[in-house]
Structure 1
Amino acid sequence: MGELFGLDAEVAGVILLACMALILVLFILVIIISVRLSKLHKLYTRMMNGSSAENVEQLIGEMQEAINAQKAESQQTSAQLVSIRETMAKMKSKVSIHRYNAFNDRGSDLSFSLAILDDEQDGIVMTVIHSREQMYVYGKPVEKGQSTYTLSPEEKEAITQTSRSKQV
């Protein structure tokens, strides 16, 4: 046979076959790399999550700004919550009524003492004494569960019941 570039035809055939095998291997590697690059691009797109950021550094910066804004909002919310709790502690939300018969020999349980207090046991206690002919109403201030006025046993019971009662 003839010579190709000064090589024997058999040697040239082997070289050509080796080049074709190398091209085939390289083509397979290009396909594998393309598939991996496609997967990596999908992951990158998902990570960017529709962000207007052009790169990862910009995305991280935007995320840090968002986190800082959330921290500031959380601190503001915590401060508001503390204020609300302080206000609620001062609300007269503990209410108790103690009914009794003021006149053992006649009448019924129409008399009562009503305590309206806050968490600090501050507020008022009202007593209504009912008889067949008349009705008397007394109001007394209460601070820390005590009053500057003498409290009847029924009024003390109404105050005591507020500490056991659930808030209204």
Structure 2
Amino acid sequence: MILSILNQYQSIIYIVVLIFVIILLIIEILNRIELNRIEKKYRKLMKGSTGKNIEEMLFEYKKNVEEAIETVKNIKDDYNDINERLKGCVQKVSIVRYRAFDDVGSDLSFSIALLNDKNNGIVLTGIYGRNECTTFAKPIENGISKYDLSDEEKMALKEAMSK
């Protein structure tokens, strides 16, 4: 029965199959055209704009990134070294001017506190008198002096530590 139906509609079946083959052939041609277009783009991408292939460009980029990371590491180490050194530098300064003696006309005497980040440093005091000028230097460790400080020196020290 199936064979009789096939024999009866054989020409129609051939036409339908032929139409499907033509449609498939058209689809295949369109696929080839699109594949060629994509392949051209791929080759252009792999070649790169300078003529190098993309693999060489990636290796060069990786090398540049590694060099940049090394440079940043060196800069960070230098920064940390400088930051540590700065902690020992004078960072806090205060000056108090005053008149040490009643017979001297102006505020020519002074006390200067020079401290680092940890409040270590010195207090310099210059006492100006009519006949002489005397200068004292007193070491400061952690904001405290081993020597007695005058009121003006204490004021300069307190002012510098508050900065």
**Which residue does 2:85 correspond to in 1?**
87
Q: Which amino acid aligns with 1:91?
A: C
Q: Which amino acid aligns with 2:123?
A: V
**Which residue does 1:142 correspond to in 2?**
140
- Where structure 1 has 5 or more consecutive residues not aligned to the other structure, the ranges are 1-9
Q: Is 2:160 aligned against 1:158? A: no
TM-score normalised by structure 1 residue count: 0.66
1:73-128 Cα shifts (integer Å, max 9, x gaps): 33332222221111111112321101223235763322210111211222221112
Which residue of 98, 118, 121 maps to 1:120? 118
Partner SS state of residue 112, structure 2:
strand
1:122-157 Cα shifts (integer Å, max 9, x gaps): 222111222444432222222222222211111111
Partner SS state of residue 105, structure 2:
coil
**Which residue does 1:26 correspond to in 2?**
28
**Which residue does 1:78 correspond to in 2?**
76
- Where structure 2 has 5 or more consecutive residues not aligned to the other structure, the ranges are 1-10
Q: 2: CA distance between counterparts of 1:17 and 1:102?
A: 118
Partner SS state of residue 102, structure 1:
coil
Identity %: 30
Q: 1: CA distance between counterparts of 2:143 and 2:102?
A: 28
TM-score normalised by structure 2 residue count: 0.68
Q: Which amino acid aligns with 2:35?
A: I
Tell me how many residue pairs correspond in the alignment: 151
Partner SS state of residue 77, structure 1:
helix
